[in-house]
Amino acid sequence: MKTKQFAILFLVAIATFFSSCSSDSSDGGGDGDGDGSNDLTSISVEVSSSVECGIYAGDTVSFAVTGNNGQDLTNQSTIMVNGNSISGNTYTTSESGSLQVTATYQSLTSGSLQVGVSEDHSKFTKHVLIEDYTGTWCGYCPRVSYAIELTKEQTDQIAVIAVHNDEEYYCDEVEALENAFNINAYPTVKVDRAADWTFPEPNNIDQVVNKTLCDNAPLGLTVIPTLNGNNVNVEVKVKFSEDFSFNNTKLVVMAVEDDLIANQENYTSYYGGVSVIQNFEHDHVLRASLTNVAGDAIPSNDILESVYSRTFSLSVPSNVTNASKLSFVAFVSNNNFTGAPYVVNARVGHFNEVQSFEEN
């Protein structure tokens, strides 16, 4: 089963390798010169297929067998899974639990490899939340803007909120966010509220992109806003996997605006390296939070058939320049093993957009 804290269950592989017998150059394990420096004395077995996203019931796993001298012995070895030999080096899992894997080659037997297999309940497309603490006065902030642009070229599975501490785009929630998450330097970029984006961000876009590759989030969202004159309704739905545990689970919904134009200080080499970027386009600018900035609790008794629904009704915030450029970012946070908040999944909703749960 997936963990109660919903960290992705990765491969648990604890292998103790030992030699069951020794050999000399006469049995083909040596390097042929008789000095024993490259003798084959032990073997090990490991998972050779990609398991970055964990192993789930129904997945096919490949194994590799290697000698202590680096020799690939996979095709010459017999691989055992839970005491039964398999054909070749692949095995298709049928249920969750633990696999005990060993290999034999001639008179050598590997240590035991333990492989964890998760229950394949609902898996949803993962969207990564990026919270960019920025300002038009912040000369190093264009570096982050450029990194976000690079990330968008690689994936559309990101949800960005630009938190501006400046005269142009300040809003009431800025101070609350700074206090809640100990923001004391600009730029600061939070990824899923769990880690800072590693400096320099344009060189580390994989930190964000790699989080979108697995598509095995334990919950999915739909965010459907509608605009009628000066009135906005935002319908948010969250669908949970059946084994989801509600440990301080919270919903956050924020309004952001795109296509805002203002000059931007620039101390970087990006955007031509000019000291002031004239008429810079600022996107994802935070305009208001429809919930507490740290989130509103999701009551478990309000969840019907694994779905939580909530509708927000509001007037277009007075600081919004163009209501048609609004979008709404919703995300669900939980607590990790140390009790710190992290974002389980996020989603952006635009006007006139149809969404469904991205259930895999």
| 160 vs 248: which has the higher pLDDT | 160
* Assigned token pair, 280: 């810079």
pLDDT digits (tens, 9 = 90+) for 74-124: 999 999 999 999 999 999 998 888 899 999 999 999 999 998 887 766 689
pLDDT digits (tens, 9 = 90+) for 18-44: 333 333 333 444 443 444 457 999 999
> What pLDDT does residue 241 have?
87
Which residues are CB-neighbours of 151 under 8 A, at least 6 positions away? 130, 158, 205, 208, 209
Strands of the sheet containing 60-67, edge to edge, are 43-47, 60-67, 90-92
Please report where in the chains the tokens 């048609």 appear, as a residue.
Answer: 324
**Per-residue pLDDT averaged across 52-65, rounded?**
83
Domains of the chain by range and CATH? 25-117 (2.60.40), 128-350 (2.60.40.10)
Average pLDDT, the chain: 87
Burial 56-67 (b: 16+ CB within 10 A, else e): beebebbbbbbb
Residue among 128, 347, 130 nearest 224 (CA): 347
**Per-residue pLDDT averaged across 329-357, rounded?**
89
Of the spans 30-39, 213-222, 307-316, 332-341, which averages the highest pLDDT? 307-316
| 244 vs 151: which has the higher pLDDT | 151
Residue 220 has pLDDT above 90, yes or no: yes
pLDDT digits (tens, 9 = 90+) for 163-199: 999 999 999 999 999 999 999 999 999 999 999 999 9
| 360 vs 306: which has the higher pLDDT | 306
Which residues are CB-neighbours of 70 under 8 A, at least 6 positions away? none
Residue 228 has pLDDT above 80, yes or no: yes
Which residues are CB-neighbours of 299 under 8 A, at least 6 positions away? none
Residue 50 has pLDDT above 70, yes or no: no
**Per-residue pLDDT averaged across 211-237, rounded?**
94
Lowest mean pLDDT among 49-63, 262-276, 288-302: 49-63
> What pLDDT does residue 51 have?
60
* Assigned token pair, 37: 């420096």
